[in-house]
Amino acid sequence: MTAATPVAHAPRQIVLVGLSGVGKSTVGHALAERLGWEYVDTDDLVTAREGKTPADLITSRGEPTFREIEARVVAEAVRRESVVIATGGGAFQRGANRRALGERGLICFLDATPTEIARRLRADAQASPRPLVDGDLDANLARLDAERRPTYNHADLWVPVQGAPEQREQTCEAAVARILRAWATEGTALLARPRRLE
Domain CATH for 124: 3.40.50.300
Domain-located, residue 195: no
Name the pLDDT band for 130 (thresholds 50, 70, 90): low
Is there a domain that residue 182 lies in?
Answer: yes
Residue 184 scores a pLDDT above 80: yes
* Ordered alpha helix ranges (H), 80-167: 95-104, 114-123, 137-152
pLDDT of residue 66: 93
Q: Is residue 3 part of a domain?
A: no
What is the value of pTM for the model shown?
0.90
pLDDT of residue 61: 94
Neighbours of 56 (CB within 10 A): 16
In the chain, the largest separation of any two C-alpha atoms, in whole Å, equals 47
Residue 1 lies in a domain: no
Whether 38 maps to a domain, the answer reads yes
Query: Per-residue pLDDT averaged across 171-189, rounded?
Result: 94
| Residue-range definition of the domain harbouring residue 46 | 13-166+174-190
59 vs 80: CA distance, rounded Å: 30
Rounded Cα distance between 69 and 63, Å, is 10
Condensed to tens digits (0 to 9), the pLDDT of residues 131-167 reads 555 667 889 999 999 999 999 999 999 999 998 777 8
**Is residue 73 domain-resident?**
yes
Q: Is residue 7 part of a domain?
A: no
> How many domains are there within the chain?
1
Strand partners, 41: 86
